[in-house]
Structure 1
Amino acid sequence: MRNAVPPTRRDDVVPGMGAGRPRRRGRRVLAVLLAVVLVLLLVVAGVVAYLTSSIGNEINRIPDAFRGIDAGSRPATFGGTTFLLVGTDSRSDVPITGTEAAAGADGGSERSDVIMLGTVAPDGEHASVVSIPRDSWVDIPGRGMNKINAAYAFGGAPLLIETVEQLTGVRVDHFGVVDFAGFTSLVDSVGGIDVQVARATGNAGVDFAAGENHLDGAQALAYVRQRYDLPNGDIDRAARQQNAIKALLEKVQEKATTDPTALYSFATSVGDAVSVDDSLSNTGLVQLALANRNLRGSGVAFVTAPVAGLGREGAQSVVYLDDTRGQELWGAIRNGTVAQYADRNPTETLSGTPS
């Protein structure tokens, strides 16, 4: 029975992964819209081949992200390009992603704190970012029902990719991950971001006023990590994460049109912060950028997977996804019509002033 419970909670138990282990603060992370920020908006500066090759040489590659996934069971391609983007629930004291990652660092040993599908539509002019709440109660292949964020802890990138493909019917073309240090450096590299806040609140010693707030990297991290004191807990936090990505896109586009040389600092930060699967070559980055050179931030739709309700499974607070409306959303991703879906479902779409 799916009984509604208060969205704010302190428990987060993953069976087999050290139930009851204390959770360190300051280790939350944000997935970056790699397909748009890293590649597509840089074309505004007119230096696609140079920057993407330069960035590509600096980006850490994740080996075997698709290892062991049965090719015959994967969804069909649909002409667009989809990134599965995650931030890890890192307990490491050093970066675990990007070129600054410590030797032997394994992001797959951590739970995924943020899960997003970033898809560029076949027309090359529209894209979408769909957040899947990390506490979504789903079937993990070979593991049974569990929170979706446990898939990354159980089996790294391959199992998370397989889980998301099974849930959505959307083929994942590439995989990207960033840790909390990477996110703060990206925000700082563009001089901070501006976000709208619905009401005054605070987190981790940072106060957010109602209205517009200018945030540096550390403040932005506190903003996207907050779930307590928000009306809908993790769901509101997912909206904040999208809002921060949108603000970052806007700042990158502003830099591209007013100060193209400033993009080099951002490009360097991307290389330091982000890791991607090893199937995305430098040539692939250039081709992706050229194929989608008409995409702008205004063409990106931000949506959260539809939720049927909140509840409990044993000791865990979980999110139950709405299967019926979910099928409509996943179909919209495949058809490149997420913007139209967003128009029909405004409660699932990023508002101008999320909580």
Structure 2
Amino acid sequence: MARRNREPDPDEVAAYNEAVREQEEYEETVRRRKRNKRIVIGTLCTLLVLALAAAGVTTWFVGRVSSNIERIPGAFDIPDEQRPPAAGGDAVTFLLGGLDGPDEVDVYEPGAARTDTIMLAHFPDGRDHGYLVSIPRDTYVEVPGHGENKINAAYSLGGPSLFVRTVEQLTDIRVDHLALIDWNGFEQLTDELGGVTLTFDEPTVLADDTTLPPGRHTLDGEQALQYVRERKDLPAGDFDRVKRQQNYLRGLMHELLSAGTFTDFGTMNGLTEAVGQAARVDEDLGAFDMARLGMSMRNLRAEDMTFLTVPTDGTGWAGEQSIVVYDAARADVLWQALKADDMDSYLADNPDLVTGQQVN
């Protein structure tokens, strides 16, 4: 996407500083009324949901982010009878797609790009926890109107609405919002934050063939991009890349929630530009919706997110295509558990699906 970098306007700086002051006064009032109940901003359903839920300076920040982010037209142009019923209560579900073409996020063109990253981020009623479920790109599923195919082909064949419909048909969960992510945009976001710190317990190979030794590393934007893109030299290929992407997002959350991130105007100004570089969202997610979403997630912490991968049954072949075999029996139980807010028992029975803290 085209960059929008510009010098901060003095009036914006003054408005931002005033918003910070008001927020600090508000937080002091909250501390007096509610011991130890600090307002911690947001979550991720990735970068986007975290950033939109960000900081107490909701009016200024959300307004800037909303104006910077481009919209996805027609994401939900699907007959209502072909969609799952809406979730009860205040649960919300985001579908995240990371595209693979050179101009991947700007405009949909048939066949121009596929969704090489697919994540379903679900926040139950009450918003005290979040779950981010990755679906490997080569998972072989039914694409409505196109027969069986790899799930990443849905966007290429029919654009955002077919992508949404395919995931809804697979999961029987209604998608409330869609975000299309450009991993290149995460490079700028990482640099704006001063890097993302990750710890490795063994040598870690990046996509540019460099190797990081064991230990604690603060990855700059380029290193982070090479970390999430590597696949060929990983023992489990795309399965391991999925875990790397989740691990990076978890590290990004910690950086975004760190002290000082939302009280420095220069950092905030850079973040709003970087968010616009990294993602587009559906037309139904307006500035008011972003602010409301942020308020509803104000007590959600980074450690309240659980990252996991949908159950699969190894790899196989469909004609000449190498595919990931979808484990429908276990996956159906997962989707039901998400809808019923019964994930604790499901995860206790399926600990192998959870991405741990140590990902090389």
Q: What TM-score range do you get, normalising by the shorter chain? A: 0.7 to 0.9
Q: How far apart are residue 106 of structure 1 and its match?
A: 4.7
Q: How far apart are residue 198 of structure 1 and its match?
A: 4.3
Aligned equivalents of 1:354 and 1:175: distance in 2?
A: 27
Aligned equivalents of 1:108 and 1:283: distance in 2?
A: 34
Structure 2: give runs of 5+ residues left out of the alignment. Answer: 1-43
Moved over 4 A (4+): 104-108, 255-260
- How high is the sequence identity, in percent, across the aligned residues? 37
Q: How far apart are residue 34 of structure 1 and its match?
A: 4.5
Aligned equivalents of 1:334 and 1:264: distance in 2?
A: 37
CA gap of 1:159–1:310, structure 2 versus 1, over 3 A, is same
CA gap of 1:131–1:148, structure 2 versus 1, over 3 A, is same
Q: Choose from 202, 220, 224 the match for 2:224.
A: 220
Q: Choose from 147, 156, 159 the match for 2:159.
A: 156
Q: Choose from 66, 69, 76 the match for 1:66.
A: 76
Aligned to 1:17: none
The code of the aligned residue for 1:178 comes to I
Aligned to 1:172: 175
Aligned equivalents of 2:144 and 2:270: distance in 1?
A: 41
Structure 1: give runs of 5+ residues left out of the alignment. Answer: 1-30
The code of the aligned residue for 2:51 comes to L
Aligned to 2:288: 283
Aligned to 1:54: 64
Aligned to 2:100: 89
CA gap of 1:194–1:343, structure 2 versus 1, over 3 A, is farther
Aligned partners of 1:121 and 1:336 also within 8 Å: yes
Name the TM-score, length of structure 2 as normaliser.
Answer: 0.81
Q: How far apart are residue 266 of structure 1 and its match?
A: 1.6
Aligned equivalents of 2:48 and 2:182: distance in 1?
A: 17
Q: Deviations over 1:48-97 (max 9, x none)?
A: 22211221111101111112x1211211122311111011011x2xx543
CA gap of 1:256–1:175, structure 2 versus 1, over 3 A, is farther
Aligned equivalents of 2:348 and 2:269: distance in 1?
A: 36
Q: Choose from 270, 284, 300 the match for 2:275.
A: 270
Aligned equivalents of 1:329 and 1:205: distance in 2?
A: 36
Alignment of 1:86-165 (within 5 A): 86-90=97-101, 92=102, 95-97=103-105, 101=106, 106=109, 109-165=112-168
Moved more, 114-123 or 245-254: 114-123
Q: Choose from 184, 188, 197 the match for 1:185.
A: 188
Q: Find out whether 1:304 has 2:314 as its counterpart.
A: no
Aligned to 2:330: 325
Aligned equivalents of 1:253 and 1:294: distance in 2?
A: 12
Aligned equivalents of 2:111 and 2:71: distance in 1?
A: 13
Aligned equivalents of 2:349 and 2:195: distance in 1?
A: 33
Aligned to 1:254: 258
Q: How many residues align structurally?
A: 313
Aligned equivalents of 1:289 and 1:164: distance in 2?
A: 25
Secondary structure at 2:138 match in 1: coil
Structure number with greater Rg is 2
Aligned equivalents of 1:32 and 1:124: distance in 2?
A: 12
Aligned equivalents of 1:231 and 1:340: distance in 2?
A: 30
Comparing both chains, which one has the higher relative contact order based on Cα–Cα distances under 8 Å and sequence gaps of 6 or more?
1
Secondary structure at 1:254 match in 2: coil
Aligned to 1:38: 51
The code of the aligned residue for 2:50 comes to V
Name the TM-score, length of structure 1 as normaliser.
Answer: 0.82
